[in-house]
A and B are shown apart, each in its own frame.
Chain A
Amino acid sequence: MTATTALAPLDVSRIRLDFPILARTVRDARPLVYLDSAATSQKPVAVLDAERHFYVTSNAAVHRGAHQLAEEATEAYEGARAEIAGFVGARAEDVVFTRNATESLNLMAYAFSNATDKARMGSALPEGAERFILRAGDEILVTEMEHHANLIPWQEVCAKTGATLRWIGLTDEGRLDLKDLNLINERTRVVSFVHQSNILGTLNPVGPIVERARAVGALTILDACQSVPHMPFDVSTLGVDAVAWSGHKMLGPTGIGCLWAHADVLSAMPPFLSGGSMIETVTMEASTFAPPPARFEAGVPMVAQAVGLAEACRYLTHLGMDRIEAHEHDMTAYALNGLAQIPGVRVIGPTDTHDRGSAISFVVDGVHPHDVGQVLDDRGVAVRVGHHCAWPTCRRMQVPATTRLSPYLYNDHADIDACLNAVAEVRGIFGAT
């Protein structure tokens, strides 16, 4: 197949049969129109069945016990890791399971504050941990479009270590102001940035950022929560050192997130949570730690969720990530065009589909986003309202909050139409002029 060959479109009506929740009604018997997948996706029956099958047939604690169930559970868990790693072009041993992407990003941030603390005390650190030790004057760079999950952990690291937080600003269109790449200098130790903004929909240019960061030896971390579920994604081609993403936004269960990092990065990091399963040897005085990924998976892990997420990866792969990407591109163009036709509606973020994902924020003149969302809810349309855990981004874009629609592989034009029709009614209801 060449790049110019048209991809077969998704058969949305058939896909919807895999998601029983989409057939339910809400409020006064309105059919549900679910356009909040950037918050969390719905789950296909195959994922639910995979979790249930694990509990029904093989449930046991992994990595311990000599009985057959423990072996099967361990195999299911590690098999899931291999499947999920393969989905993003990674080696299984470089993927760490966490509770969610927030924990994945905290795991990276704590590697810095823990290494700095331990160095101060002269405590043992893994080989290569120097790159995680911060000093006053060191700088951490983020962007002004980060989700709080990739902002607050770094504010905390700065508060603990004396490092300084800096950020790449935004243009009025809601893209990174690439002039601010000049902020990357020899004091920059970390560049942690979002791949696709959850509020603006902007798809950021990874290449130029990584190139500048690598030139000064800074560690690069990518928040890929809104990209892994929506486009072909390969950790090996992006050039970043670490990638965080969540399971529940890509048809998987809640309670599981992932962190991928280069083997030499993971092996140089001190542990985050400590306890069972993450050790090598333990005495009353001190302990040594297991190699990654086990070093970062203290306690009994989320086995059923891993099994479910692996099934989600198979489901997505079966449909084809390139087809999903094309489908969302079409949804995005259709929605952006429709919103542009409604008087008093303004999109917050890029208004064309160039380097843009399917999360579309907008405001309605004279009506607060909460009230917009309430009208949509009354029509059965589920969208997100508020600051989308990106409060500084709202401030920069000079809006108190937004209403956001975010379609996925199970939405079609009829869903977008239902949303647009409801949005068109909003100003009349509130008498906005």
Chain B
Amino acid sequence: MQDLYQEIILDHYRRPQGRGLREPFDSQVHHVNPTCGDEIDLRVHLEDRDGLPYVADVSYAGQGCSISQASASVMFESLADKPLTEAFESLARFQEMIQSKGENPGDEDTMGDAVAFAGVAKYPARIKCALLPWLAWKDAVLRASDASSTDKDDQ
């Protein structure tokens, strides 16, 4: 169980980073984990910085277990204020590690605190808890991108 509840995870659970819904934002999503009732509201704000799309902000609020709440905090640290392509690479690394059934321990150099979730991979029932905020972020970004391309089509 220590593999699951690493001190880093419990720290993020007790002192979540980036929590609270903020303005401005381009899209907002509400994701739930229907088997256990975990919920997250998540907003993304995308920004063009010298021609490069950036995740200017990710903000969130919700309720859930320590794994989903700590994962939201780590997700914020991993994805906010990062170039969009880099953020998607972080998402891919996190998903790959957590769905590897323990085969992929993650790389601390590229993943930071997110490697602490490697232990979750051994608890199939908790994988969806850890993924909830990350997949909400992905959905929010896709919606924001859809909205902006629709805006351009309109012009």
Contact = CB atoms under 8 A, between A and B. Distances in A.
Contacts of A374: 1, 4-5, 123, 126
B1 A385 contact: no
A367 B5 CA distance: 13
Interface stretch (B63-71, B101-109, B144-152): B63-71
B41 to A, nearest CB: 14
B155 interface: no
A400 interface: yes
Contacts of A370: 36, 38, 64-67, 126, 129
Residue from B1, B14, B63 having most chain A Cβ neighbours under 10 A: B1
Interface string A251-267: 00000000000000000
Contacts of B14: 431
A430 B10 CA distance: 7
Given A370-B129, A375-B1, A429-B5, A387 B66 contact: no
B37 interface: yes
A371 B65 CA distance: 6
A429 B10 CA distance: 9
Nearest to B129: A370
Interface string B111-141: 0000000000001001001000000000000
Nearest to B62: A400
Given A368-B64, A374-B1, A385 B36 contact: yes
A403 to B, nearest CB: 11
A370 to B, nearest CB: 4
A368 B38 CA distance: 10
Contacts of A367: 66
Contact of B36 (A378, A387, A429, A431): A387
Contacts of B4: 374
A430 B1 CA distance: 12
B26 to A, nearest CB: 28
Nearest to B66: A371
Question: Looking at chain A's contact residues, is the secondary structure mostly helix, strand, loop, or mixed?
Answer: helix
B66 A368 contact: yes
Contacts of B36: 369-370, 385-387, 401
Interface in A334-392: 367-371, 374-375, 378, 385-387, 391
Interface in B1-55: 1, 4-5, 10, 13-14, 35-39
Question: Looking at chain B's contact residues, is the secondary structure mostly helix, strand, loop, or mixed?
Answer: mixed
Contacts of B38: 370, 400
Contact of B37 (A375, A400, A429, A431): A400
A394 interface: yes
Nearest to A28: B1
Contacts of B64: 368, 370, 400
Given A370-B67, A374-B126, A391 B37 contact: yes
Given A374-B1, A378-B1, A387 B10 contact: no
B73 to A, nearest CB: 15
Nearest to B36: A386
A391 B4 CA distance: 27
A374 B5 CA distance: 10
Contacts of A385: 36
Contacts of A378: 1
B1 A401 contact: no
A375 B129 CA distance: 16
Contacts of A391: 37
Contacts of A431: 10, 14
Residue from A378, A387, A401 having most chain B Cβ neighbours under 10 A: A401
B71 to A, nearest CB: 12
A400 B66 contact: no
A387 B67 CA distance: 17
Nearest to B11: A431
B16 to A, nearest CB: 13
A375 B5 CA distance: 10
Contacts of A430: 5, 10, 13, 66
A396 to B, nearest CB: 14
Nearest to B5: A429
B96 to A, nearest CB: 23
A394 B37 contact: yes
A371 B14 CA distance: 14
Given A374-B1, A374-B126, A386 B35 contact: yes
B101 to A, nearest CB: 17
A178 B10 CA distance: 44
A242 B69 CA distance: 44
Contacts of A371: 5, 65-67
6 contacts: A368-B69, A374-B1, A387-B36, A400-B63, A400-B64, A430-B5
Given A375-B1, A386-B36, A400-B38, 6 more contacts: A367-B66, A368-B65, A370-B64, A370-B129, A386-B35, A430-B5
Across the A-B interface, give the 10 residue pairs with the lowest CB-CB distance, nearest first. A370-B65, A368-B65, A378-B1, A386-B36, A387-B37, A401-B37, A371-B66, A371-B65, A400-B63, A400-B37
